[in-house]
C-alpha cells in the first residue's frame, strides 16, 4: 500500500543508501554524471553486512532508511546495494509510487554481450544469488543469450572491504579462493554482483588475468537515475552548494575515511541511531 503523497522538488537532494561503504562505488558515478546535484548518502554500517542476514530484516531496514531519507526531502532514491535491491525494491516502489527509485542488479546482460567462451562468473552475496529477482534474471538472460552462469557466493568479502582491508593478505586470499575456480571453469567474464566489490577490482584482475572482462553496474545505475529525473523534470537547474552529506548508523570517522580514501572527497557525516530510522 502506498504511503501518503509526497512532493518532489528539483532542488532536493538525491538519497543513496547501502549497508555500508559499498554504495560509494555507485555514488561516484552519480556524482560524475550529475555534478550539479546534491547527494545524501546513508551507510547502514551498524547493521552491515546485509548479505548473510534474513530477507525480512533487510526489507525492514530498507523501508526504515527510505522513510528516514524522505524526512530529508529527497527527490529520488538509489538503492545502492544488490542484496537490498533484490529483497526490497518492489516494496519500496509500491510504497512510494511518486518517488523515482533506482536499484542495482548484477550486470548479467552486459556480461552476456561481452563473453566469448559463453561462460560467465557471478561474484555476489549468498542472499543476492538466492533471491527470486536474481534467479529470474539469470534464467532469462541464460536462455536468451545461450550462456552459462557460474554463481559464486563470496562470504566475508564485503565485510573485509567494509573494514577498509582492500589489499590485506586475508582479502587477497578470499579473492583468490572465489575467483580462481571460475577462471578454471573457463569463465572469461566476471560480474561484480555487490557494490562493495569494485573497490577490490584490482585484486580480482590480478587473479583473473588480463583476458577476463569485469562488469561493474555503477555507471548504468547513474544513467537510469538521470533518465528518470529527466522524465519527471526533476534535474537540478542551478548547481547545489551543499553537494554532499552523509549519515551512518556506524562510525562517522570510518565513513569519513572511506569517502577520503576511496573517492578523495570530504563529506560531512552524521551518526544516526537505529531508533531514528526504525519504521
Torsion of CA 100, 101, 106, 108, to 10 degrees: -40
Nearest-angstrom CA–CA distance, 132 and 129: 9
Catalytic residue among 12, 16, 194, 234: 194
CA dihedral for 135, 136, 137, 143, sign (positive or negative)? positive
Catalytic residue among 81, 158, 229, 234: 81
Tell me: cis bond preceding 115? Omega within 30 of 0 counts: no
Residues 48/272, Cβ–Cβ less than 8 Å: no
- Angle, in degrees to the nearest 10, between helices 132-145 and 82-95: 110
Q: What's the gap between Cα 2 and its chain centre? A: 24
Nearest-angstrom CA–CA distance, 272 and 279: 14
What residue has cell string 589489499? 167
Distances (CA, A) of 98 to 4, 77, 89, 234, 253: 10, 11, 14, 12, 35
Cell of 125: 552475496
154 is catalytic: no
194 is catalytic: yes
Residues designated as active site: 81, 194
Amino acid at each position: 500500500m502506498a504511503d501518503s503523497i509526497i512532493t518532489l522538488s528539483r532542488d532536493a537532494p538525491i538519497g543513496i543508501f547501502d549497508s555500508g561503504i559499498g554504495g560509494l562505488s555507485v555514488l561516484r558515478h552519480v556524482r560524475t554524471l550529475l555534478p550539479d546535484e546534491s547527494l545524501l548518502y546513508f551507510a547502514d554500517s551498524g547493521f552491515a553486512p546485509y548479505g548473510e542476514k534474513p530477507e525480512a530484516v533487510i526489507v525492514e531496514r530498507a523501508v526504515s532508511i527510505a522513510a528516514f531519507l524522505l524526512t530529508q526531502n529527497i527527490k529520488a532514491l538509489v538503492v545502492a546495494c544488490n542484496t537490498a535491491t533484490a529483497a526490497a525494491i518492489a516494496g519500496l516502489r509500491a510504497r512510494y509510487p511518486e518517488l523515482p527509485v533506482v536499484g542495482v542488479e548484477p550486470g548479467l546482460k552486459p556480461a552476456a554481450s561481452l563473453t566469448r567462451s559463453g561462460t560467465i562468473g557471478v561474484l555476489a552475496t549468498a542472499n543476492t544469488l538466492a533471491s527470486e529477482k536474481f534467479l529470474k534474471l539469470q534464467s532469462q538472460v541464460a536462455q536468451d543469450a545461450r550462456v552459462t552462469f557460474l554463481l559464486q557466493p563470496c562470504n566475508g568479502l564485503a565485510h573485509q572491504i567494509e573494514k577498509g582491508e582492500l589489499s590485506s593478505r586475508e582479502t587477497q586470499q578470499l579473492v583468490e579462493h572465489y575467483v580462481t575456480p571460475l577462471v578454471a571453469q573457463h569463465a572469461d567474464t566476471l560480474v561484480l554482483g555487490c557494490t562493495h566489490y569494485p573497490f577490490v577490482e584490482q585484486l580480482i584482475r590480478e587473479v583473473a588475468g588480463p583476458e577476463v572482462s569485469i562488469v561493474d553496474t555503477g555507471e548504468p545505475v547513474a544513467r537510469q537515475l538521470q533518465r528518470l529525473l529527466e522524465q519527471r523534470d526533476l534535474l537540478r537547474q542551478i548547481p547545489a552548494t551543499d553537494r554532499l552529506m552523509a549519515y551512518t548508523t556506524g562510525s562517522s570517522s570510518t565513513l569519513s575515511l572511506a569517502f577520503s580514501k576511496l573517492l578523495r572527497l570530504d563529506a560531512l557525516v552524521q551518526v544516526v541511531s537505529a531508533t531514528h530510522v526504525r519504521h
